[in-house]
Amino acid sequence: ENLSNQIAAGEVIERPASVVKELVENSIDAGASRIRVDFVDSGLKQIVVQDNGSGIAKDQIDLAFTRHATSKINNEHDLFNVATLGFRGEALASIAAVAHIEILTNTANGIGSRAVFSGGSKLTQEDGASAQGTKITVKDLFFNTPARLKYLRSPRTEMVKIVDIINRIALGYPQIALTLSNKGKVLLRTPGNGKLPQTVATVYGRHIAEKMVAIKNDDSDFQVAGLISKPELTRSTRNFISILLNGRYIRNFKLATAVMDGYGSKLTAKHYPIAIISIKVDPLLVDVNVHPTKQEVRLSKEKELGRLITSAVSAALIDKGQ
């Protein structure tokens, strides 16, 4: 069983940033309003994610670490109507297969638990009082799968990937107070007050936030809202165009292009805007079950959405006399 968990881990957990992403998404699904992430040595030595979410009941901990067991999907209908970030029940089992994990968790009216998993099996579990929420410590990632370590990039690059994923989650959830620190040194702290411009200011800096304009557009299927940079503020890559579909950061070349199309000739070659595009859509129109990392999705009416985004962008730039 641990072998198949290790194989699954290879798909979901490619690098330290994947651990950070999966754990923080679990915290969001658990309804947390505050999430702290700390990492040591680009995440290979230690990653800690602490939230004030629902917590896990004492008798549900084993299930949480069992592959394909999820509390988020109960039937086939749910699978086509995914309203949570997680639904595959793979992350905790996959991480536990390739690292040491300690979990401290408590529900609103529980007594609290502490459990330790290593290389796929549970070593201990005991009662232990703690505040409501969950704190997961992941140590020595890939200690038993040395081949994985060889695929990692430099410590610097792995750290940038952690920062990048947290930045995008922060932009997708301005109502959550997120703190990212490296060995206690704070790298990002968002206000968690629901205000996107203030969140952008903490992620990209105030000088950037001041050069962003709001966009908004709806049709019967989609609600598009967000912030885009004025044409004079550009970057040399597309990486600063973040598309968030029901809060989930997705990679979608066509939708990123739709953002750029809205600038028309205001954008010169090899210049790319900064944009945060939040899309709300009925989950029934989205198939997130395409890839284990869930960053690629299949979207009904993608063309319509693209046009909606393009016209939202061009209207906002005309409004502001850009």
CB of 199 to ligand ADP, least distance (A): 22
CA dihedral 280, 283, 285, 290 (to 10 degrees): 110
Pairing of strands 241-245, 248-250: antiparallel
CB of 87 to Mg ion, least distance (A): 8
- The interface mask with ligand ADP, positions 118-147, x = CB under 6 A, is ----------------x-------------
Stretch that binds ligand ADP, among 22-30, 146-154, 190-198, 261-269 (CB under 6 A): 22-30
Q: Would you count residue 8 as binding ligand ADP (CB under 6 A)? A: no
Handedness of CA 28, 30, 36, 42 (dihedral sign): negative
Cβ neighbours of residue 208 under 8 Å, at least 6 residues apart? 200, 201, 229, 233, 274
Nearer to ligand ADP, 55 or 192 (CB): 55
Q: Would you count residue 176 as binding ligand ADP (CB under 6 A)? A: no
Q: Where are the strands (E) in the chain, listed by range?
A: 34-40, 46-51, 100-106, 113-118, 121-127, 133-139, 177-182, 185-189, 212-218, 222-229, 241-245, 248-250, 275-281, 286-287, 298-299
State how far Cα 314 lies from the chain centre: 28
Out of 71, 125, 137, 145, point to the residue binding ligand ADP (CB under 6 A).
71
What span, in angstroms and rounded, lies between the C-alpha atoms of 261 and 27?
A: 35
Q: Would you count residue 30 as binding ligand ADP (CB under 6 A)? A: yes
Stated length of the chain: 322
What span, in angstroms and rounded, lies between the C-alpha atoms of 258 and 243?
A: 11
Stretch that binds ligand ADP, among 81-89, 183-191, 217-225, 246-254 (CB under 6 A): 81-89
Q: Would you count residue 90 as binding ligand ADP (CB under 6 A)? A: yes
The pair of three-digit structure tokens given for residue 306, joined into one six-digit string: 């693209």
Nearer to Mg ion, 168 or 230 (CB): 168
- The interface mask with Mg ion, positions 60-99, x = CB under 5 A, is --------------------------x----x--------
Contact positions vs ligand ADP (CB under 6 A): 22, 26-27, 29-30, 51, 53-56, 64, 70-72, 86-93, 134
Contact positions vs Mg ion (CB under 5 A): 26, 86, 91
